[in-house]
A and B are shown apart, each in its own frame.
Chain A
Amino acid sequence: MKCGNVREYLFAFLDSELESALSLEVQRHLDGCGECAREAEIERTVRKRLEKALVKNGPVAPPFSEMLTKLGTGQVADESIGVGAGFSGTVSSDTASSGTGDPVQRRTPVWSRLALVAASVVIVAGTVRYLIQQTQTDPDQFVRSVVNDYTHFLDGGAAVQLASADRVEVMDWLRDKTALSVSLPALDDPHCKLRGARKCTIQGKPAAFAVYDMKGTPASLLVIEGGDVSGMREVSHNGSTHRGSTHWGSTHWVAQLDGYTVVACRRGELVYAAVSTFPEEELLCLMSDGVHESH
């Protein structure tokens, strides 16, 4: 990709709005072009400072309870709307015309209320059924879920939400978005590079999804609390090392599904699952703490 093309896509790339294949191409160019990388860093900083000026240092919203007071029980008096200068109180007459009464009831005919009741019954029944299903877990479901996520976001071309090769920046972002104590491997392998991340949901739970470029092929590292690895093959390695780096824990789990390899390990309450088309040995680099020794 040439510098001119990168400039066209740069802002969408920085905003994580590019589909993943194009995003990877842009990132590859930035990795090799100092000039474009500098421009990207400048624009990234411009946006951050703009956000700081407008949002962080911007207006402070009034307490949320202020709105609740006005909406809460539907009691809205004309004078409490607080209209601004030049605005002659033409707020929706539904809420302004009387100071008492329930706006929902005033606007909702009987058939609509019956529909609400029917919808509520359907929702409750569906929730009960869902909860029953959750207690009867399929041991392969975790593997299927992580592979589906991989194919959906990477093969399907969906963009990462944060495009960055900065491990610390990506970890901070994931921790903020998912409330998980995500820790990413510190890699020193030129053939395995961090590309970005997104937040996703696995089996109803928030999960962190980090994207790597391994020799031109995407790999994902999913982090989730309490993932079920019982359907995977357990491999004990008694603290052995992989290419000079130390594995997390003494056990990892492996599974194959539809041509994809899933390697998982536990770190505290979290399960880390790497997914790609590479074999188990290659994916283990994403299960390590330290730095690779290059071959």
Chain B
Amino acid sequence: MVKELADTFVRFVRPHWGRLHVVARRYVATEHDARDLVQESLLRAWGNFSLTAEGAYKRAWLFVILRNVATEWHRRASRRITLIPVDHAELTEFAAAELSDPFAPLPGMDESRFREFLDQHVADAMDALEPHYREVLLLSVCGDLRYREIAEVLDVPIGTVMSRMARARRCMRDTLASKVPASKVPESKTGASKAGDSTASCSKTGGSKADPARRSAEDRT
């Protein structure tokens, strides 16, 4: 019976093993810590896993545990908390008009140069986001979770997830646009971009020119 339970648990966890580590790595400063985080999360999941309720478990449950363990760990270790629970009501302040505005313009480059540009800057652009914006993107891109699942993990309505996701990616777009030398930015055909206005409200440093080195140092203190 114990072996059957263990086999069932292993079958449930195995497909998500890699993604849990990728997400965990973004919650903590080192790869070693990320492995500890996943290990503790799965120990906790194992402790709460029962055969009768197996069908009710979804992968979002594992990410809920991972997030809870990460939050406790940071709090216990007196580290700067990088996961800040935010009341979903804060999103009512964002007018729908902002999400329908034109995107910050990016220069016309050929495909390979554009990919190189993104490879250089896209991870830092995500790390520069406010934690509650960064987290929805993290769970989607790294955790491969659907919006509904992200809503479960964060315990917010799915509409909040959609708004944060749109906000996060628009902010990333603004940050990427700010990486381009001013002389190479084309005029937008659809009117002036509001990159300067919107960036201040979604990046941690309050501006589009976040210093990745400084941010990384803060994360490690």
Contact = CB atoms under 8 A, between A and B. Distances in A.
B51 interface: yes
Given A15-B147, A102-B2, A92 B44 contact: yes
B139 to A, nearest CB: 12
A196 B40 CA distance: 39
Contacts of A68: 10
Interface string A93-129: 0110000001111010000110111011000000000
B36 A95 contact: no
Q: What bracket does the count of chain A residues touching chain B fall in?
A: 35 or more
Nearest to B118: A49
Interface residues of B, number: 69
A113 B46 contact: no
A71 B142 contact: no
A116 B138 CA distance: 37
Interface of A: 3-5, 7-8, 10-12, 15, 17, 35, 39, 42-43, 45-47, 49-55, 58-62, 64, 67-68, 70-74, 76, 81-88, 90-92, 94-95, 102-105, 107, 112-113, 115-117, 119-120
20 contacts: A5-B100, A8-B100, A8-B166, A12-B162, A12-B165, A12-B166, A43-B173, A45-B115, A46-B172, A50-B122, A54-B123, A54-B142, A59-B25, A59-B31, A68-B10, A86-B79, A91-B43, A95-B43, A104-B2, A116-B50
Interface of B: 1-2, 5-6, 9-10, 13-14, 17-22, 25-26, 28, 31-40, 42-44, 46-47, 50-52, 73, 76-79, 96, 99-103, 106, 114-115, 118-119, 122-123, 126, 137, 140-142, 146-147, 162, 165-166, 169, 172-173, 176, 189-190
Given A8-B96, A50-B137, A81-B39, 11 more contacts: A3-B190, A43-B103, A46-B173, A54-B26, A59-B21, A82-B35, A83-B36, A84-B36, A85-B77, A87-B77, A91-B40
